[in-house]
């Protein structure tokens, strides 16, 4: 599968799940060897994308693809500069995560084992104008040891070593926030006891604390 085909494949998965639409959301793969960024085009319905439509960026210059690049390529570039261990980025306006971004709220749940192992917390970056470098302000610190961040009044961003990993993180984060919202409508949400929480985060091999241990920043 070429990088263009991979971008199309996952863009269509996100479209089917209602996490992107024709005007919102973009995904990318960075080729670390060549420095080229493969990103979904601007204003195109994701379910109708073809490999030829995927924009190929060399820095700020489009060198491939028959459709104009997404204006959010600067956000993708900044995120992948911040995370040299990652080669893919996914930016969406996933409803439940974006609701917290609209409220400019960091997410800190203690009721979900999935949330604890994958995130522990999800920071919210200050508002930055879309399509400009300002939208990525603070991203290096926020994403140093986190794979998902919120963008105030805008949406969310995930990174991963592969597009599969970045999409999976997004799906898991959105699902947890959906369930949390439903749980609050039922009654008071019960947290995991602090001692058990700390033991899980410290001892589980897949926890965010342990996943990022080998990475020197």
104-139 pLDDT, tens digit per residue, is 999 999 999 999 999 999 999 999 998 888 888 889
43-95 pLDDT, tens digit per residue, is 999 999 999 999 999 999 999 999 999 999 999 999 999 999 999 999 999 99
User: Which pLDDT does position 52 carry in this prediction?
Assistant: 98
The yes-or-no verdict on residue 150 having pLDDT over 90 is yes
**Calpha distance 215→194 (Å, rounded):** 26
DSSP state of 31: -
Say if CB 170 and CB 92 are below 8 A apart. Answer: yes
What would the two tokens of residue 167 be? 């999409």
| Phi and psi, residue 85, nearest 5° | -85, -5
Could you tell me the fold of the domain covering 3-203? Answer: L-fuculose-1-phosphate Aldolase (3.40.225)
The residue ranges of every structural domain in the chain are 3-203
User: Which pLDDT does position 217 carry in this prediction?
Assistant: 39
Angle between helices 3-16 and 163-186 (to 10 degrees): 10
């Amino acid at each position: 599968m070429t990088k263009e085909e991979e971008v199309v494949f996952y863009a269509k998965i996100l479209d089917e799940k209602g996490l992107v639409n024709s005007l919102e959301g973009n995904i990318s793969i960075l080729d670390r060897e060549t420095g080229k960024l493969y990103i979904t085009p601007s204003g195109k319905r994701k379910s109708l994308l073809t490999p030829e439509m995927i924009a190929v960026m060399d820095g700020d210059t489009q060198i491939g693809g028959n459709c104009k690049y997404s204006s959010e390529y600067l956000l993708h570039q900044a995120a992948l500069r911040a995370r040299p261990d990652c080669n893919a980025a996914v930016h969406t306006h996933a409803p439940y995560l974006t609701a917290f971004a609209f409220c400019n709220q960091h997410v800190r749940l203690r009721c979900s084992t999935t949330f604890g192992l994958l995130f522990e917390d999800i920071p919210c970056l200050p508002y930055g104008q879309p399509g400009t470098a300002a939208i990525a302000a603070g991203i290096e610190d926020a994403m140093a040891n986190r794979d998902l961040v919120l963008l105030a009044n805008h949406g969310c961003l995930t990174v991963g070593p592969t597009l599969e990993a970045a999409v999976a993180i997004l799906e898991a984060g959105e699902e947890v926030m959906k369930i949390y919202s439903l749980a609050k409508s039922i009654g008071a949400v019960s947290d995991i006891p602090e001692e058990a929480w700390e033991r899980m985060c410290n001892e589980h091999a897949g926890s965010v604390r342990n996943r990022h241990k080998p990475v020197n920043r």
